Chain A
Amino acid sequence: MTFLLNNFVELTVTGLVLGAVYGLVALGYTLVYGVLQLINFAHSEVWMFGSFAAVWVTVAIGAGPDSGIAVAIGVLLLALLAAMVVSGAVALLIERVAYRRLIRLDAPKLVTLISAIGASFALAEIMGLRDRLAEALGLRDELNSYVRSARDNTRFLNPLETHGVFNIGRYTVSNVDIIIIVSALVMMVALDQFIRRTHTGRGIRAVAQDSEAAALMGVNRNRIIRATFLVGGVMAGAAALLYLMRFGVTRWNAGFLLGVKAFTAAVLGGIGNVRGALLGGFVLGLAENYGSALVGSEWRDVVAFLLLVVILLFRPSGLLGESLGRARA
């Protein structure tokens, strides 16, 4: 208890940082659920591929922490772009391979769910076996810096040096903390506006509220489904870079736990609810931090999933409890 109180500010800031990442990944779950009433279990791999894209861009450029602020920002923006593009592409690939045919056949939800789980394992293993793939393609030497020790942690060299910006109590808030929280909020507001104001965004809301009525308005459901996967993927890509800036490593199977946490965040906030995803992310990040301060950090995941169980028992529709359709966002 005294540990929690003495480190309250730090636990809060790092909880918000973690929560921002959860929230951005949770958007992908919530958007697809809103439109299809399906949990896209392969979304964790969308995030994982984005994280590798960000790592590889920085490796390719070869910029270290000592190359100056302008270069650092340029490299980070390139890494962001690469992560968003790769994650968006992987999300579209999942929609194409694991979903489209099943949706057209109106297959039972369980079938589609299993297909998504299969896609998730396949994608993770492909990343974990990238050294063998490179070898089979005869590109082992050319790609060595990208495929080396494929099953171990892959480090991200943040070109931006972490430094303190201001103090709250005893904790020094860093530039990276601020960048992560602000970026996540900016992305959320952008998404909110996208869904509320753009033509495609209105189409997404219409399909989420009543897919058949949306067809009667001339909304092309298949196009809206693709747009939803793409937007969710782009958000996960952004989350991947932000995660790396703070935690510095990724791994072929890192998507699994992060994906389950982000899914938890989406359910906490109310699945299908865009604003709920961010709220759920923050609540989960904070709860994990406070919880592990109280009972020990090895209990972090227990705290997170117990929170999920408790929320589901007492408020099954989540904190904000509306669907994407009903939410005016």
Chain B
Amino acid sequence: MTLLEVDGLCVNYGRIEAIRDVTFAVEEGAVVTLIGANGAGKTTTLKTLSGLRKVRAGAVRFQGKDITAMPAHLRVPLGISQSPEGRRIFPGMSVLENLDMGAFSRADRVKTRSADLERVFTLFPRLEERREQLAGTMSGGEQQMLAMGRALMSRPKLILLDEPSMGLAPKLIQQIFSIINDIREQGTTILLVEQNAMQALRIADRAYILETGEIVREGTGDDLVADDSVRAAYLGGDV
């Protein structure tokens, strides 16, 4: 079943077209990745899916329902959550308070709190150790884990991950990708935006390449990893 359909999406920043006629779909249970260079429109796409950017043309459907004009805060209870670029954790709140913010829109958040926290702490044991720490004082890797854990607290059907590996040490990147795999295995659909294209393609069921606001290639992750022109352009030349 198709969970998310994006159809001919156009988004502008003032007069500048940030993305143009972007069309793709995310199947339930899949990992789908958008890759591309800086400024290709990956983050704009995710922000638009979360309702943070106005759509100029095109449509977004979630579980068959048109949500193109739906305000951001109503999309979370519907089942879309995001771990944004730059983590955007609440620096003046503790780790626990940040995680509680993730469940802000859930009516049954009090009842399910301990189960939800346990799920997050199983994926990110580090967060449990730091539960009382002020989030702004944590390392970049820990903040990334917190941003992802926070996004899971709303029990999303679809989680949008924007550059989860940005600025992290190679060892941590491995860890984050292995956790992304765990999240998929728990049944959450993932739309992953990455500059770390090789890793993203390896984990993805389906991948789209964005170039200056347009989708220029698509295929399964394996297909694109094997493609020479993709390797040359996005995977650091001849590997």
Contacts and interface: CB of A to CB of B under 8 A. Distances in A.
Interface string A310-329: 00000000000011011110
Nearest to B47: A212
A220 B71 CA distance: 9
Contact of A215 (B73, B91, B100, B151): B73
Given A210-B88, A216-B52, A221 B73 contact: yes
Interface stretch (B2-10, B74-82, B171-179): B74-82
Contacts of A300: none
B88 A202 contact: no
A216 B84 contact: yes
Contact of B88 (A216, A219, A327): A216
A323 B90 CA distance: 13
Contact of A205 (B52, B76, B93): B93
Per DSSP, chain B at the interface is mixed
B104 interface: yes
A209 B134 CA distance: 13
A213 interface: yes
Interface in A206-256: 206, 209-210, 212-221
A199 B104 CA distance: 8
A15 interface: no
Interface residues of B, number: 31
Contacts of A215: 50-52, 72-73
Interface residues of A, number: 23
Given A202-B101, A206-B104, A221-B73, A216 B92 contact: no
Contacts of B82: 216
B50 A209 contact: no
Contacts of B150: 217
A23 interface: no
Nearest to A199: B104
A162 B138 CA distance: 54
Interface in B118-164: 134, 136, 150-151, 154
12 contacts: A202-B100, A203-B104, A209-B91, A215-B50, A215-B73, A216-B52, A216-B88, A218-B73, A218-B77, A219-B73, A219-B101, A325-B92
Given A202-B101, A328-B94, 8 more contacts: A199-B104, A202-B97, A212-B84, A218-B73, A218-B105, A221-B73, A327-B92, A328-B92
Interface of A: 199, 202-203, 205-206, 209-210, 212-221, 322-323, 325-328
